[in-house]
Chains A and B, each alone.
Chain A
Amino acid sequence: MTALTIDRINKRYGNLHILKDISIPIGQGEFVSLLGPSGCGKTTTLRCIAGFERPDTGRILFGERDVTRALPEQRDIGMVFQSYALFPHMTVAENLSFGLEVRKVAPADRQRRIADVLAMVRLEGYDKRYPRELSGGQQQRVALARALVIEPSVLLLDEPLANLDATLRDEMRFFIRDLQQRVGITSIYVTHDQAEAMVMSDKIVVMSAGTISQFGSPREIYERPASQSVAGFIGRSNTIGGKIAEALGQDSYKVETPCGSIGATGPAGLSRGADVKIMIRPENINTRSQAAAAGQGAGEGGHSDNVLSGSVVNSVYQGSANQLAVKLGSGDRVIVDVNGRNPLEVGEQVALRFAARDTWLLAS
Chain B
Amino acid sequence: MSAVEAAPRIESRSNRGSATWMVVPALVLLIGFFALPYLTIITMSLREASTRAVYGEGFTLAHYTSALRDFYIWGILGRTLLIGATVTVISLLLGYPVAYHLAKSRSRWTSLLYIFVLSPLLVGLVVRTFAWMIILSNNGVANQALQAVGLIDFPLQLMNNSLGVTIALTHVFLPFIILPLLGNLQAISPDLAMASRSLGASRMRTFWKVTLPLSMPGIQAGTILVFVLSISAYVTPAMLGGTGGRTMSVLVVQYLVDNFRWPAGAALAIIMAAVAVIFVGLYLRLTARAMRRLP
Q: Chain A residues in contact with chain B, CB under 8 A?
A: 50-52, 71-73, 76-79, 81, 83, 85-90, 98-99, 102-103, 130, 132, 143, 146-147, 150, 156
B189 touches A98 (CB 8 A): no
Which residue of B has the minimal Cβ distance to A79?
Answer: B198
Produce 1/0 per residue, B214-234, CB < 8 A to A: 100000000000000000000
Q: How far is the CB of A76 from chain B (nearest CB, A)?
A: 8
CB within 8 A of B195: which of A71, A85, A89?
A85
B295 touches A132 (CB 8 A): yes
In the assembled complex, the Cα of A85 lies from the Cα of B190 at a distance in Å of: 9
Q: Chain B residues in contact with chain A, CB under 8 A?
A: 189, 191-192, 194-202, 205, 209-210, 213-214, 293-295
B201 touches A73 (CB 8 A): yes
A72 touches B295 (CB 8 A): no
Give the residues in chain B near A52, CB-CB below 8 Å: 194, 197
Q: How far is the CB of A156 from chain B (nearest CB, A)?
A: 8
Give the residues in chain B near A78, CB-CB below 8 Å: 198-199
Q: How far is the CB of A150 from chain B (nearest CB, A)?
A: 6
A72 touches B210 (CB 8 A): no
Which residue of A has the minimal Cβ distance to B294?
Answer: A89
In the assembled complex, the Cα of A163 lies from the Cα of B60 at a distance in Å of: 67
Give the residues in chain B near A71, CB-CB below 8 Å: 197, 202
B194 touches A146 (CB 8 A): no
Q: How far is the CB of A99 from chain B (nearest CB, A)?
A: 4
Q: How far is the CB of A18 from chain B (nearest CB, A)?
A: 16
A98 touches B196 (CB 8 A): yes
Give the residues in chain A near B293, CB-CB below 8 Å: 89-90, 130
Tally of contacts, chain A with chain B, CB under 8 A: 70
In the assembled complex, the Cα of A99 lies from the Cα of B202 at a distance in Å of: 11
Which residue of A has the minimal Cβ distance to B194?
Answer: A52
Closest 9 interchain pairs by CB?
A99-B199, A79-B198, A85-B191, A85-B195, A102-B200, A72-B197, A89-B293, A81-B191, A83-B191
In the assembled complex, the Cα of A79 lies from the Cα of B198 at a distance in Å of: 6
Q: How far is the CB of A48 from chain B (nearest CB, A)?
A: 13
B200 touches A88 (CB 8 A): no
Assuming A81-B191, A98-B209, is B295 touching A88 (CB within 8 A)? yes
B209 touches A79 (CB 8 A): no
In the assembled complex, the Cα of A156 lies from the Cα of B198 at a distance in Å of: 10
Assuming A87-B192, A89-B214, A98-B209, is B294 touching A150 (CB within 8 A)? no
Q: A71-B202, A76-B200, A90-B293 are in contact. List 19 more A-B contacts (CB 8 A).
A: A71-B197, A72-B194, A72-B197, A73-B198, A73-B199, A73-B200, A73-B202, A79-B195, A83-B189, A89-B213, A89-B294, A98-B201, A102-B199, A102-B200, A130-B293, A130-B295, A132-B295, A143-B195, A147-B198
Q: How far is the CB of A3 from chain B (nearest CB, A)?
A: 17
Q: How far is the CB of B212 from chain A (nearest CB, A)?
A: 10
The interface centre, meaning the residue of B191, B192, B199 with most chain A CB atoms within 10 A of its CB, is B199
The interface centre, meaning the residue of B197, B209, B214, B295 with most chain A CB atoms within 10 A of its CB, is B197
Query: What are 23 sample pairs from A and B whose C-beta atoms fall under 8 A apart?
Result: A50-B194, A50-B198, A52-B194, A71-B197, A72-B197, A73-B201, A78-B199, A81-B195, A83-B189, A83-B191, A86-B195, A87-B192, A87-B196, A89-B214, A89-B295, A90-B293, A98-B209, A99-B200, A99-B201, A102-B201, A102-B205, A130-B293, A156-B198
Give the residues in chain A near B197, CB-CB below 8 Å: 51-52, 71-73
Q: How far is the CB of A54 from chain B (nearest CB, A)?
A: 14
In the assembled complex, the Cα of A19 lies from the Cα of B197 at a distance in Å of: 24
Give the residues in chain B near A86, CB-CB below 8 Å: 195
In the assembled complex, the Cα of A150 lies from the Cα of B195 at a distance in Å of: 13
Give the residues in chain A near B213, CB-CB below 8 Å: 89
A81 touches B199 (CB 8 A): no
Which residue of A has the minimal Cβ distance to B291?
Answer: A89
Give the residues in chain B near A90, CB-CB below 8 Å: 293
A150 touches B199 (CB 8 A): yes
In the assembled complex, the Cα of A130 lies from the Cα of B295 at a distance in Å of: 9
Give the residues in chain A near B210, CB-CB below 8 Å: 87
